[in-house]
Structure 1
């Protein structure tokens, strides 16, 4: 069986467990279509938002995480600007945009292109009838960045540590609200039910782009035994780690990125 077949078989098995909360099966299917080798690299982490645009008779908004995260850390949008970490939770309106909220905080015609005056040629920068230009720009964008075998083919952690990308951590150039506590600088070793599959988790790596409130308490409850139902199938359906690692950050079929001892296994 090839890698795609194995991954899909695993997902079908997990869907039968009935533990999905963050995504339903159709949503999970849409996500799987974007994960290489099912989809091209540029498409992973690229959101197509059409729920409101369809009613307005406009082309869907196509948002490429990869083009933004080279300029800003995840913290800027998901803390400073208030975008939910869960897909579909925020519900942006044009009125909010033109008032300088959400995307409008940068897309004001000064920091980045804006459409406050309703100029059609600029509207098409986000409301895309086709994605050919976006696809072509990804090749140029990704060329100087370190390569990864999963997700959108870019090793973002490596790019950040090597200085190939230097994203701003705040729109106001302010420092994060609090430093990372000293005891969290060392990686955490988390045991699992399966042998030789312990998880190594780095708060430090995540804090370089996020804030404590990005994960706690909405995604991970920090109370003792607050995540007793944490499991791989919950992750696959977009809960816990899967809130990011099934949509934007490296996907769940890049197993060894977390399960470093799975030396004979390279992914579903």
Structure 2
């Protein structure tokens, strides 16, 4: 388990966010290999990766502070250090990309997608979030930050970018689509809503050979209507909002 110390018995699993044995069996082979196992120095973790990942999953889902980590998990500072190390070395992205590829293969898809969907979501920020990293979205009347995402046609994340809420969708898309196109060379089509119209369409075609297809809402539509392809990314946002730590921006 990459560092399960002999004097620390395996913790009893009791929370809904704990990985099941079946989930762990899928995740374990995809974990980034620690440096000490590749002869790059360092020492093994004092706690197994399953326990550390369960702790982080609990924190995200319940929206707690790191220092409020329940006592049956590894100490909060060890879990936080593990999280920071993975984030700073891009290991979170590496692990996520491997999981996405595995899911796509199991569903009979190629590992690399050819189509996706882009959208954004403005999220209210906690009162203690600094003014230098937040803004006001006049369209959604939200004071906080905005997450811009690109997903594949299964709703699996391909790219994400976080800005202050006053940054326009087209402005962020110039950067985000550049990152996604560089990472996924087979991507040829991305669906978007009316907020992405204008010069961005021509820019994507000329720069990335990427077709940005606008799915517009008809003028005669009333109330909530499921729009082709756009519902895929909206479903992702709904899943994210079920996690308390992602439902309100905190420092």
For the criterion TM > 0.5, the same-fold answer is no
TM-score range, shorter-chain basis?
under 0.3
Higher Rg of the two aligned structures: 2
**Larger helix percent:** 2
**Larger strand percent:** 2
